[in-house]
Each structure stands twice: as structure tokens, then as C-alpha cells.
Amino acid sequence: MEAARLHEYTDEMETALEIDEIDRPSADGPMDVVIEVEGAGWCQTDNHVIEGMWTDYVDQELPMTLGHENAGTVVDVGDEVRTVEAGDSVICHPVTTCGVCRPCRLGEDMYCENLTFPGLTTDGGFAEYLLTSERSVIPLEDLDPVEIAPHADAGITAYHAAKKATDDLVPGDACLVVGIGGLGHIGLQVLDATSAADLIAVDVKREALDLAEECGADHTIDSSEEDVASVVDDLTDGDGATQVLDFVGRDETTALGPDVVAQGGDHHVIGYGGHVHEPSQTLVNGEMSFRGTLVGTYPELQELVSLVDGGYVDLHTSKYALDEINEVATKLEHGEIEGRAVITP
């Protein structure tokens, strides 16, 4: 089968991946599931993997097939698989888990002590076929695997952050959403569907702010022309935003926290690549928190699929063939993709 593989870390996205001919995976283990990949979302994390940013956090053996936002059709299952069969359309939770360690028993999939992460630690879905497990697949029924594929990471990550924020939002509160890109436009829709907070969207591009309005934003701020802290202060009568969802995660956006977060509020860091540089007294005085977001749980992906099925969340996608993979990497690196790009092997 054909697969887009990383052979060496590089900053040159134009030549980042090579299309190789490799063996098709088989369902040799009792809980294995092999899917024919119909859609695999491209994520900013894929660019970071190419750059070698993840080598400090996980073991990676190159060459490796990237792609961790995967959906498709089941073609083969292990002897003990009972919940899906050949012909079923599924979306894959981005990690495969053991099910028996303490984090798994608690439902914290991303903390699994024996986790593998297709596209990050093992071969992923930028290929014709993908090996996953029964614990990772969710049947889609009438939903299109190509359209829903990016929800496997972008969607669930945005949902996980929005769900945490919604737990601490009440009517009349303000929630600031920074970065209305591939994740941010999903997070906005989830917040609009699950909370009664006033939603304020921040971006530097007019197209992104127009998209934010379509996704439920009550107010928009062009941070290239306006002072975000001043506008938030005016919109909230000086109280600030109870919750901030930062889908950018650069130094300039994490630095917004102390200036825009209401006392006792949270700044959720979802995008990454920057740093948090704040005096400890800033956190003490405002009793604010910076909170990280690491994808989400299997039940949360089920919940998100239900929102999509109910028409509450609409994913903006553009589709590319497998041999266009480096074009996608380059476009994303230059901020030229609105919504999510989906590879269709």
C-alpha cells in the first residue's frame, strides 16, 4: 500500500514526506481493527512532528507514517472484536490504549500507561490502511468519514477544552476564544451549543473573524488593529473573561492571560509552541490558572460525534490527495488553510 512517511526531521515542509510502498497491516491481535482510510486530517501537530519537536516527549522510530485524525471503513478485525465488523464506517480515537492500567480504568485514555499514538509513535493514517484497536473505534452510522475525520483530534481537543471551560461558565459570563482556525472554529461551536456565556472571538484575519460569527461568536476582536485587553474590559464592564481558550499558544497569546482573565478564571492553553512567562504573584493576585489541554477521552469523542450528528457542529474542510501531502504541510505552515485539511488516500 502507499503511505506518506517521514524519513528525517526537517523544517522544509515542501519535501517533508515521501510516498512509499509498504506492507498493508493485518489484524493479527485479538482486538486489532484494520480500516481502509477514507479521510485523515492534517494537524499543526504533524508539522511539529516533522520539525522534530516531539522527540523530547515521545520515542519515535523513523521512517514513520504520519496522520492521527483518522476515519474510514473496517476491512479486518481480530478474533475477539465484537463491536464492529467489516464494512462498518468508524472514526478512530487518536490513541490505542490497554484498558487495564489505572488511568484506563478511570477513563483517562490519554494517560494510559501503555498507550500508542498512530502518527506520533507508530504508523498513522496518511496511508491506504491503518491498524488500530477495538477500544479506539466509534461507529459513524450515517456520518461521512471524510468530513468527520479531523474531529478525531482537532474536534476532540477543542471539545475537551470547551467542556472544561463550560463547567465554570454561567449565563452572563464572558468566554474569550483566541485563534479561530482549525480547532478554534470547532471550540466556538461547542461553546455555543453547550453554554450560555457571551462568546468573544480573537484573530488577526478578517476571514477568521467572519467564520467566528458564523460559528456563534457574539463579539469579534481583530488583534492586529485593536488592543484585546481594552476591548475585553469594555465588553465585560471591567470583570474580564471567566474562561479563555487559547488555540494559538504562542508567547503573545499566553501573555494575554493576566490582562483578560477574570479573577478566579482560567486560561486554557490548547495550541502550543510558545511559553508561559508570568510572575507567580500574578497568579496569586488574580487567583487565575493556566490549564493545559491534551486531546480528550473516548466518551468525549462519542459526545462530539453526537453533536455533529445533531447538526450543532459543522467542520470546515478542504480535501487533498495523498500525493499532495507536502503541499498541505506547506500551506498550513504559512497559515493558508482555513478550517481543516483532509487527506483522502
Same domain, 300 and 198: no
pLDDT at 307 over 80: yes
pLDDT tens across 192-227, in order? 999 999 999 999 999 999 999 999 999 999 999 999
Reading phi first (left if > 0) and then psi (alpha if -120 to 50, else beta), residue 18 is in beta
pLDDT tens across 316-341, in order? 889 999 999 999 999 999 888 877 89
Same domain, 28 and 41: yes
Quote helix, strand, coil % in the chain, to nearest 5. Answer: 35, 25, 40
The residue among 25, 35, 111 whose CA lies nearest residue 74 is 35
Same domain, 198 and 284: yes
Same domain, 103 and 181: no
Q: How confident is the model at residue 142 (pLDDT cuts 50, 70, 90)?
A: confident
The residue among 177, 172, 202 whose CA lies nearest residue 188 is 177
What pLDDT was estimated at residue 189? 97
CA distance 6 to 15: 10
| CA dihedral sign of residues 190, 192, 197, 199 | positive
CB atoms within 10 A of CB 100: 10
Cell of 78: 481480530
Same domain, 12 and 127: yes
Same domain, 104 and 89: yes
Same domain, 182 and 107: no
pLDDT tens across 107-129, in order? 999 999 999 999 999 999 999 99
Tell me how far the alpha carbon of residue 126 is from its chain's centroid: 16
- CATH number, domain of 252, equals 3.40.50.720
Same domain, 27 and 90: yes
The residue among 193, 189, 154, 181 whose CA lies nearest residue 295 is 154
Residues 320, 342: contact at Cβ < 8 Å?
yes
The residue among 334, 301, 324 whose CA lies nearest residue 70 is 301
- CATH number, domain of 57, equals 3.90.180.10
Number of independent structural domains in the chain: 2
- Provide the percentage of residues in the chain whose pLDDT is more than 90: 92
Same domain, 145 and 226: no
Cell of 323: 500525493
pLDDT tens across 16-52, in order? 999 999 999 999 999 999 999 999 999 989 999 999 9
| CA dihedral sign of residues 165, 245, 340, 46 | negative
pLDDT at 251 over 90: yes
pLDDT at 134 over 80: yes
Give the residue-averaged pLDDT of 6-13: 96
What pLDDT was estimated at residue 302? 95
Same domain, 195 and 283: yes
Domain carrying residue 207:
158-292
Mean pLDDT of the chain, nearest integer:
95
